[in-house]
Structure 1
Amino acid sequence: MVTLNQRPRVLNPRLAAILAELRHGEMLFVADAGSGSHAKALRPLDPGVEQINLEVVTGVPSLDDLVPVICDNADIEACIVTEDMRSANPDGFAMLVGLFGEDRVHEMKYMPDYYDMRDRCKAFVQTGDYRVHANVILIGGYPSADIPIDMIINGI
């Protein structure tokens, strides 16, 4: 059991290493259980993106379980979600706004733009979250000015 003055730490060795290696402007895709990564998926994941499967059973871990722990263990400055998340998954969207503030939760078109961004991520982390649009792209931070979101999205 976690004590009050002990923050949760990442026990999965590969995820812990990815978080330690995440640099300013690099991205991590946290996926819901419905996000296909197989070569025969509707939109296959680029083979250059490392996959980490954390799903245990339906709903475990959830986006709400994992993202705050990642933020406690890595420098994350902002996130990107689909423009549909706000209405399709208001609880997940509210959790992200609570973590980052509304001005650091960026929305973009789902298809194909969001999948194009997913394929630029350092890693793809599969959760067991069964909610619709329970996906987020986390952007690595640094104790300096944030990278303008347009530069990240446009790859400049």
Structure 2
Amino acid sequence: MAASVGACDLVNICILPPPSGYRLCRVAYGLGALLSCPKDWSERHDGWIQVEEQRVCSACNCGPPQGGFCEVQAKVYADNACGSERGGLILPSSEGPKCVDLPIGTALASQTAEVLFSETGTCEPGGGEVIGAPYTGMPVTYCCVPELAPPP
């Protein structure tokens, strides 16, 4: 026997309208949640009994640097106090390795490097993609009676 909202008589089962702000709904779990809602209970809301976040993000990374530049002045010394310079050169980052020719047998005891100019580069960000999916437990469906118009 079906239940209806509204007027009661000797044949029908009567359900009183819900209080203001509430809805009258039927609930179905598991396989029952896959069925269609009854005709008079046409407002459908689907969800799950349990939901757990199981997604993660891949590691973030940075591509090769682009557009940066620096220039360093390097010097080598014969003593530990950086007082007796034996050679030096300026190394721009835009050029490959450089060498300074020193006389054979030159003793080197210390070195310095000074940044003369620096311009920050950029890199293309990567990674951070979503991996996995949320876990959703047993499905649940609420079939509700559309909001009833108040009596005149």
Task: Please indicate, yes or no, whether the TM-score normalized by the shorter chain is above 0.5.
Answer: no
Of Structure 1 and Structure 2, the greater strand share is in 2
Please say which structure displays the higher CA radius of gyration.
2
TM-score, normalized by length of structure 1?
0.24
TM-score, normalized by length of structure 2?
0.24
Of Structure 1 and Structure 2, the greater helix share is in 1
